[in-house]
């Protein structure tokens, strides 16, 4: 069943509204779904009543961009684990992350180190992925030692641990390359459980979607400036998941929509990051990037880290991504333990060669309390 957010003709929208009214009643009454087709069961299971109501009320012209939830602030801004003092975050920096949705930039690699790795890293944008069997810049930490080394630098790992917790996995990574002179703009977007990927099943299945159960880092492979399309954020917008209108000239890659959020240019921050630096952010925070109208490339790398109590791609043979336009079969995919232990094993696990890690000894261990 194709639930891709898109402009639908009236003859499709009328029966969809009727069907969703029935499914909403079914959900309210907690009626059994075992006899339903798998896609219909997924809608009843994963669409909340507010999500259904927005779709019905708008005649399937509006939708939540992810599973509706309100972000829960922590009761303390103290670090969640002890680390080497040179990577220590202050309580003020942790508070900034939770209040604004982003903190940084921080130094990791030197410019010379990144320049030495850059040819291998850029190959990730154009080579065949052994994990998925086609050309993709996604999840190349599973097959490229240089990518695994980059995401496991202690400057990254130890700072993430103080915000997310002492144990976490990498469940996804991706390169974002904007060649010089390209007009591609990445529209304002946000995500939480990655429901928007196929709009039937979320990629992530947390116990409570209001918690901080995963976060991202974005590292500059090239200097990221306003001129070449650096990341932009609207701080504080992670507290809610917003709705969007289908259609329009812009969107997120292959999915065309406009967020129902009136952007005040005074709110927008340009996050310029030097080569080898990174920022930590939650993708619930509305973000995007302008086109690269300069004569310099802009390549960035993102790694997505999740807590062990979050199931990723639960019971799925493949992950369907409307905005990337394809299916990612998961038989060679798995979360990679990056720090601490994954005792719960809620997701497939992919062990990579310990020598690929920055310190060549495998996942970082907990620091003594």
Percent of the residues in the chain that have a pLDDT greater than 70, as a whole number: 93
Cβ–Cβ < 8 Å for 187, 263: no
As given in the structure block, the two tokens for residue 199 are 């709009």
Query: 369: pLDDT confidence band, cut at 50, 70 and 90?
Result: very low
Q: What pLDDT was estimated at residue 52?
A: 94
How much is the average pLDDT of 328-344?
93
Radius of gyration for the alpha carbons in the chain, expressed in angstroms and rounded: 20
Confidence band for 255, pLDDT divided at 50, 70 and 90: low
Decide which of 252 and 185 is more confident.
Answer: 185
- Answer whether residue 168 shows pLDDT above 90: yes
pLDDT of residue 340: 92
Contact between 60 and 9 under an 8 Å Cβ cutoff? The reply is: no
- For residue 83, name the pLDDT band (cuts at 50, 70, 90): very high
Model confidence pLDDT, tens digit, residues 115-148: 999 998 888 888 999 999 999 999 999 999 999 9
CA distance 241 to 204: 16
Decide which of 362 and 340 is more confident: 340
Q: Are strands 168-178 and 336-339 parallel, antiparallel or unpaired?
A: antiparallel
Position 110 scores a pLDDT of: 94
What was the pLDDT predicted at 187?
A: 87
Q: Mean of the pLDDT values across residues 285-304?
A: 94
pLDDT-based confidence at residue 368 (cuts at 50, 70, 90): very low
Please give the average per-residue pLDDT across 176-180, as a whole number: 91
Which pTM value belongs to this model?
0.93
Reported as a single tens digit per residue, the pLDDT across 308-327 is: 999 999 988 888 776 565 78
Non-local (6+) Cβ contacts of 265 within 8 A are none
Q: What is the reported pLDDT for 107?
A: 96
Q: Which domains does the chain have, with CATH numbers?
A: 1-62 (no CATH), 65-354 (2.60.120.620)
């Amino acid at each position: 069943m194709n639930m891709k957010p898109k402009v639908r003709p009236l003859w499709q929208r009328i029966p969809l509204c009727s069907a969703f009214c029935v499914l909403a009643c079914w959900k309210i009454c907690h009626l059994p779904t075992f006899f339903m087709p798998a896609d219909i069961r997924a809608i009843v299971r994963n669409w909340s009543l507010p999500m259904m109501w927005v779709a019905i009320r708008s005649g399937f012209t509006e939708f939540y961009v992810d599973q509706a939830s309100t972000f829960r602030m922590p009761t303390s801004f103290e670090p969640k684990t002890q680390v080497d003092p040179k990577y220590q975050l202050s309580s003020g920096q942790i508070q900034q992350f939770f209040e604004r949705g982003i903190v940084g930039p921080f130094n990791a690699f030197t410019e010379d180190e990144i320049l030495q790795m850059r040819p291998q890293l850029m190959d990730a944008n154009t080579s065949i992925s052994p994990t998925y069997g086609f050309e993709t810049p996604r999840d190349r930490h599973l097959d490229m030692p240089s990518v695994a080394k980059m995401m496991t630098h202690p400057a990254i790992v130890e700072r993430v641990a103080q915000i997310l917790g002492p144990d976490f996995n990498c469940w996804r990574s991706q390169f974002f390359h904007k060649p010089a002179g390209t007009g591609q703009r990445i529209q304002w977007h946000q995500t939480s459980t990655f429901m928007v990927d196929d709009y039937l099943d979320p990629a992530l299945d947390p116990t409570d979607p209001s918690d901080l159960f995963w976060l991202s880092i974005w590292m500059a492979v090239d200097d990221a400036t306003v001129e070449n399309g650096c990341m932009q954020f609207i701080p504080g917008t992670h507290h809610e998941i917003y709705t969007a209108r289908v259609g329009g000239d812009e969107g997120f890659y292959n999915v065309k929509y406009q967020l129902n959020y009136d952007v005040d240019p005074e709110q927008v921050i340009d996050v310029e990051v030097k080569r080898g630096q990174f920022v930590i952010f939650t993708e619930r925070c509305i973000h995007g990037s302008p086109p690269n109208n300069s004569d310099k490339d802009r390549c960035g790398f993102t790694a997505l880290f999740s807590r062990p109590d979050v199931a990723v791609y639960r019971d799925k043979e493949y992950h369907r991504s409307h905005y990337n336009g394809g299916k990612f079969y998961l038989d060679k995919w798995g979360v990679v333990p990056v720090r601490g232990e994954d005792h719960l094993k809620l997701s497939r696990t992919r062990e990579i060669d310990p020598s690929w890690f920055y310190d060549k000894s495998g996942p970082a261990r907990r620091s003594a309390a």
